[in-house]
């Protein structure tokens, strides 16, 4: 049942609700309390559902204002004055919370509205906040997968019981662990973003990253010599 209909039947004002105390409601019978609760719950869900759409629409308005002001970075005083009027009726807490959501949507909308060349000219990152969020989640998942593969490999080694004066034969699990670890390492390397390296890192951080990459490159080269030799001898 639509939220407004539930509220009407329960005789609950969901448009301008007031905070209630228990003493305000104890006189109501169970069916009335259930109907009242359902009205509040339904209206809460409706507001939550529409909140994202409203924030996105507001972000679209903000981008349109940037176009009108010929100020796609939103830095001019005239643009800021217009945007300030939009939020003028909100309290500080509500304004900050909404502005944070709107900025996220603005970042995504700009990446769809502007061309890569226009983004570069404005010194804006080519990736949207949504893409960076997805990349971050993928990177975290890759790191977790790598940690899990490393733990599984360590567990496999602990479980080995070699015979006296004899090297243990690799198990099926150990060979699978090697493939899992390489796959996890590849996923992590694929998460390294040229955009972050070029625009977010300091020179010192880039130098440190280059050192680490060189170490990885040497380790890979050493392992590849082993795999190539083993394959040729096989």
The secondary element (H helix, E strand) that includes residue 184 is helix 172-190
CB 209 within 8 Å of CB 201: yes
Task: Answer yes or no: is pLDDT of 8 > 80.
Answer: no
83-103 pLDDT, tens per residue? 999 998 888 888 888 888 888
Among the listed residues 74, 81, 77, the one whose alpha carbon sits nearest the alpha carbon of residue 103: 74
Task: Answer yes or no: is pLDDT of 136 > 60.
Answer: no
SS3 readout for 86-110: HCCCCCHHHHHHHHHHHHHHHHHHH
150-161 pLDDT, tens per residue? 666 566 555 555
What is the reported pLDDT for 79?
92
Among the listed residues 178, 158, 176, the one whose alpha carbon sits nearest the alpha carbon of residue 168: 158
**Is pLDDT larger for residue 86 or for residue 147?**
86
What is the reported pLDDT for 62?
92
User: Taking residues 189-213, what's their average pLDDT?
Assistant: 82
Give, in order, the Cα–Cα distances in Å from 132 to each of 121, 126, 136, 159, 182: 20, 10, 6, 40, 24
CB 114 within 8 Å of CB 72: yes
Entry pTM? 0.48
110-133 pLDDT, tens per residue? 888 888 888 888 887 777 665 665
Averaged pLDDT score across all residues of the chain: 77
User: Taking residues 75-80, what's their average pLDDT?
Assistant: 92
Residue for token digits 């209206």? 43
User: Taking residues 164-171, what's their average pLDDT?
Assistant: 53
What is the reported pLDDT for 203?
85
Angle separating helix axes 3-10 and 30-68, nearest 10 degrees: 140
């Amino acid at each position: 049942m639509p939220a407004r209909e539930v509220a009407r039947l329960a005789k609950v004002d969901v448009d301008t609700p007031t905070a209630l105390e228990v003493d305000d409601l104890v006189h109501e019978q169970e069916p009335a309390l259930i109907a009242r609760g359902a009205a509040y719950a339904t209206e809460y869900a409706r507001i939550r559902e529409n909140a994202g759409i409203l924030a996105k629409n507001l972000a679209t308005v903000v981008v349109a204002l940037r176009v009108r002001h010929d100020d796609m970075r939103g830095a001019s005083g005239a643009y800021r004055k217009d945007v300030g009027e939009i939020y003028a009726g909100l309290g500080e807490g509500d304004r900050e919370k909404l502005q944070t959501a709107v900025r996220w949507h603005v970042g995504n909308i700009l990446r769809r509205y502007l061309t890569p060349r226009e983004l570069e000219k404005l010194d804006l990152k080519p990736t949207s906040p949504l893409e960076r969020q997805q990349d971050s989640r993928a990177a975290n998942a890759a790191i977790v997968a790598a940690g899990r593969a490393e733990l599984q490999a360590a567990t496999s080694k602990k479980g080995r019981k070699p015979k006296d004066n004899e090297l243990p034969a690799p198990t099926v699990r150990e060979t699978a662990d090697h493939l899992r670890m390489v796959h996890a390492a590849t996923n992590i390397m694929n998460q390294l973003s040229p955009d972050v390296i070029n625009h977010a890192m300091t020179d010192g951080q880039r130098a440190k990253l280059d050192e680490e990459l060189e170490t990885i490159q040497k380790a890979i080269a050493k392992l590849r010599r082993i795999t190539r030799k083993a394959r040729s001898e096989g």
